[in-house]
Amino acid sequence: MLLLHLQTGLKPVREGLKHMLGPVHDKNKEKLESAREWRIYHDIIDIYEHGDGLFKCLLCSSGMMRRRELELHLGVMEHMQRFVDENKDTLIEQAIPSNPPLCTSCDQYFVDNTELKVHDKKHHKKDHGFSPDQIENLKALSQSRNLVLKPQLTSVRGRILQMLPSRGYGIAQVPRNGNQFLNVLFDITRLEMRRKQDTLAESVGPGYPVLLNAAEIEPRVPGCAENIAYYASAVTFGDEDEHNGFPVDYSTLKLGGETTLEEGQKLSRAALAVQLDLCAKGEPTPLFHTFSDMLDAGTGTVVMKNQSVMLVKLEQDRAFALQILESVMLTEHQDECSNETFEVGDRLRVNAVLMNPALPTQYVVTGSWAALGARPSIPREELNVTAIDMFSSLAVAYCGDPASYAVPDVIVPAGDDVLIPAGFDDVLIPGGLDDLVVPVAGGLGFDDIAADMTDDIGVGVEDDIGMEVEDSDIGVEEEDKKDKPLSAPSLGLKFASFAK
């Protein structure tokens, strides 16, 4: 069903009828309200609308997008090419979702099934707390297990990790040594930004750079304290001069709204329980990922390319990066990440920034080249928000199943220059030359917690390429230089008691 008068996307008949009888439709019988006016300027006739604010492009068989991602998607070259495809009708029929994530009890719509499970855990199941096995596993998987936690964080750089399935709660992540992170819970009242919307998900997205103040949550709850240790007192996106750098302890935070803090902690505990279960099944989760915050001179192979995006398979297990081929300014002064052209099968070096560890494609490429050596990287805070949103749009539209693309065999023609793999390190070697000493270019510092339990999960700090928070002109607090050395915990994960 398509409601042309209100410019909706495609909806199932039941949802369409419910929409026609609802308050939005009544309110707009005579005039389209300003919040929906943007729909007039876009052709969404082939877009499936999930609830009121989530969209799926049936032509591209995308994942769920929000408005800002959809508007970008409708203008990319690959989508416009498919819009005139002679097999268009067949593509649409095959992409119509049969069971989109929906809570029928609450009449709420979700981006994916993980969000639905967290909502169900929080609102429709009794909270029994964590079992002893779950607590042990949460401690073993903690991304800050080797860090000394301070009572407060002041003006530290981080990124939005995920929005929790509610109107106003999310988690930000602060990178530390290697693939170690501090997770910070926050609510929309703590967010300072221009043009802030009614909900957190409409305001920011995964990968957005933020500046944070936070206090350690009290009392410490076993399992939670090791994974989400802080609650933010200030979260700033955009103009850092507007950041409130005044430190606030947790007791003072509670005076400003104890109910809000408790509700956020209940939601975060539900997210931990659901993601722990998914992690046990080998599925990607934002809270238990092992990706570095940045890649400098990483190596990979192009496995897919269309008119809008190039997909790179990195050397690490299940790590992928996409390079935006659309005309989007990466930074205020840079409109492209490479002046070189690559095709499927080419090996290359990349600088990349972690955007969303929950997606099958996690990184956005900020620089790519074929020659030996490193090149300057772009820090996250310099990325344009349009480039971050374009990453999200392309990732769910065309890179939702990157593992389905086979890595092409590299054929070495005599006399040509190609990247020759040497374990996890690559060097540019002229074809036909023998007996060359291959220098080590540095490992990428990724660990897989599902790998051999005897592996050293804590990568040596001297080899890691993750971004470390440093002093800056805005007064970023220098972190304790005497953090405990990274060490491999005794995993011994016990995933037998997830019935809760």
pLDDT above 80 (res 485): no
- List, for residues 142-185, the tens digit of each pLDDT value: 998 888 899 999 999 999 999 999 889 999 999 998 789 999 99
Confidence of residue 447 (pLDDT cuts 50, 70, 90): very low
pLDDT above 80 (res 92): yes
Q: What is the pLDDT of residue 303?
A: 97
Phi, psi dihedrals of residue 20, rounded to the nearest 5°: -65, -30
pLDDT above 90 (res 24): no
Confidence of residue 372 (pLDDT cuts 50, 70, 90): confident
Q: What is the pLDDT of residue 25?
A: 53
Q: First vs last Cα of the chain: how many Å apart?
A: 39
Q: What is the pLDDT of residue 12?
A: 62
Domains of the chain, each with CATH number or no CATH: 4-100 (no CATH), 113-280 (2.40.50.140), 294-430 (no CATH)
Q: What is the pLDDT of residue 416?
A: 43
Average model confidence (pLDDT) across the chain: 80
Q: How far is CA 268 from the centre of its chain?
A: 17
Q: What is the pLDDT of residue 46?
A: 85
Closest by Cα among 300, 278, 205, 280 to 494: 280
DSSP string, 10-28: B--HHHHHHHHTSHHHHHT
Phi, psi dihedrals of residue 295, rounded to the nearest 5°: -115, 130
Average pLDDT of the residues in 62-87: 89
Angle among Cα 292, 293, 295 to the nearest 5 degrees reads: 70
Burial string for 269-306 (b: 16+ CB within 10 Å, else e) reads bbbbbbbbbbbbeeebbbbbbbbbbbbbbbbbbbbbbb
Pairing of strands 309-314, 294-305: antiparallel
Quick check: pTM over 0.75? yes
